[in-house]
Amino acid sequence: MTNLADIRKIYMKGSISLHEMPNEPFSAFKKWMSEAIESQVHEPTAFTLSTSNDGFPDSRVVLLKDFNEKGLVFFTNYNSQKGQQIATNPQIAMNFFWPELERQVRILGIAEKISPEESDKYFYSRPIESQAGAIISLQSSAIDADRNLELETQELLKTPEKIIRPNHWGGINIKPVQFEFWQGRPSRVHDRVRYKLANQLWSKERLAP
Ligand SMILES: Cc1cc2nc3c(=O)[nH]c(=O)nc-3n(C[C@H](O)[C@H](O)[C@H](O)COP(=O)(O)O)c2cc1C
């Protein structure tokens, strides 16, 4: 295998200037998300969600399904590890990495469940197979090695009247308090701009790479 220490990339796809960044982070995030989608980044909406697990940070990838100035929304099983960790400590971190654009966005925020009506709206918009899969999976529970979840999903699909959103499956909205936009630059002199929310006002500053 190649010596990992010898793998080196020069980042030169763009730059950001504190002066040119907007005074609030949402329009910058919208612009960067649009550019990630247009650039055909693989899974542009995927982000690493970090939660607290009894003192240990715990991370996994989930998909962003909506965002606006009220927050950023993903969907999951509320009984999963992440769901239980958020119920204990709603302070979370999000990380988007778009390698094709040499960009990273870090967000800190407070997570809370969205309303059952909003969760219904998204749940029933999904393909029926995904709805059935969400019902079958008690996400993050240990299960029998030989259990055939695909077969159980197919069985459930034979009785569509039983396909109802479980109360433990729905959306989580993250109300952000901090954003950091990172753009890779040559010689590791990367550009970083951080926004912080205080007294309902966003401030921005440049950070050393
Ligand atoms: C690309 C990708 C997208 C994923 N999207 C979601 C998602 O939107 N919601 C979700 O609950 N899990 C999603 N997962 C699975 C999670 O990473 C994780 O395995 C699962 O949610 C259980 O996590 P937990 O045990 O920490 O709760 C995704 C995984 C990958 C790799």
CB 95 within 8 A of CB 173: no
Of all protein residues, the one whose alpha carbon is nearest to atom 22 of ligand 1 is 140
DSSP line for 14-66: ----TTTS-SSHHHHHHHHHHHHHHTT-SSTTEEEEEEEETTEEEEEEEEEEE
**Strand partners of residue 196:** 178, 203
Residue 76 CA: which ligand 1 atom is closest?
Answer: 11
Question: Which residue from 61, 77, 136, 141 has its CB within 8 A of the most atoms of ligand 1, so it is best to mutate?
Answer: 61
pLDDT of amino acid 133: 96
List pLDDT tens digits, range 109-156: 999 999 999 999 999 999 999 999 999 999 999 999 999 999 999 999
CATH class of 9-116+168-206: mainly beta
pLDDT of amino acid 156: 97
pLDDT of amino acid 89: 97
Domain extents in the chain: 9-116+168-206, 125-140+147-164
Residue 61 CA: which ligand 1 atom is closest?
Answer: 17
Please name which of 161, 36, 188, 171 lies closest in space to residue 117, comparing C-alpha atoms: 171
Question: Does residue 149 have its Cβ closer than 6 Å to ligand 1?
Answer: no
10-residue mean pLDDT series, the chain (209 residues): 95 95 98 97 98 95 97 98 98 98 98 98 97 95 95 96 97 98 94 98 98
